Amino acid sequence: MLKHWLLFNVSFWLLLSCATSPLGRSQLVLMPEEQLSLMGAQAFENVKQKTPLENSPQVNGYINCIASSVIKVSGSATRSWEVAVFREDTANAFALPGGKVGVYTGMLNVAKNQHQLATVISHEVAHVLADHGNERVSQEFALEQGMVLAQSALGSPQTERGQFVMGLLGVGIQFGILLPYSRTQESEADLLGLRLMANAGFDPRESVQLWQNMSQGSNNAETPEFMSTHPSHTTRITDLNREMNQAMTLYQQALNKSVSPQCG
């Protein structure tokens, strides 16, 4: 039924599908939010079935403390946020439509303190807030590739279609397919994430150090997976520094309100 509804309403959707990102960029957003949330939830369950969860209360408490602090200031209380910590040495993290956040324990080897890990989590939450998953799926739909994706949501990640959808949603790399976000989307997530972490009481200056850590890791034999799907760290650091004065103002305002997480 969803297929027929989409077919009969595609012209109407194309007229009304222009949305605006949190940073003012026009976006093509065709998919109903409920459908994207369902796809995100399915993708999240698939990752949890494939990857062992971390059972340490200390590690889970630390990461959830940071994530909840960021989510609290995100203005997205209507989403059903869920955070999972995966026990794997990969330096990676992701967030899915509907508010599903995954962090791999390997990221703790790169993010040396709560502020640096908040950089990563804020970046991923920003992808959700900016509807980047919807935008990617919608772009495929507009190219007449996405209709089959909408017929039965995600389907099995073992199928070619399922792997492609996982890639569109941002976790395809775990299933052998690499579909990184565009540079524009990554830049938006960086800048929106910088504001989020500052509003949450995390020091935005640590975002630069985080990417310097990533850069050092990239000089080793194995590039951190989180970095492998992202643009040049030099460009990223330059852009973050350009926005740092504004972020520091937000950070100081948070401290003045006694917003200062002590996650560890």
Q: How far is CA 28 from CA 13, 69, 141, 219, 244, in A?
A: 10, 30, 10, 37, 29
Q: Which two tokens stand for residue 212?
A: 């310097």
Give the Cα-Cα-Cα angle 237, 240, 244 (nearest 5 degrees): 135
Return the bridge partners of 102, or none. 84, 94
Q: Are strands 82-86 and 100-104 parallel, antiparallel or unpaired?
A: parallel
Helix (H, G, I), strand (E, B) or coil at 255: helix
Q: Is residue 240 within 8 Å of 205, Cβ to Cβ? A: no
Q: Which two tokens stand for residue 211?
A: 């990417």
Compute the distance between CA of residue 127 and CA of residue 95 in angstroms, rounded to an integer.
7
Could you give the residue numbers annotated as active site? 124
**DSSP alpha helix (H) spans, the chain:** 2-16, 33-50, 57-72, 114-129, 132-142, 147-151, 160-169, 183-199, 206-218, 225-228, 233-242, 244-256
- Measured in degrees and rounded to the nearest 5, phi and psi for residue 101 equal -120, 130
DSSP H or E segment with residue 95: strand 93-96
Look up tokens 């309403």; give the residue.
9
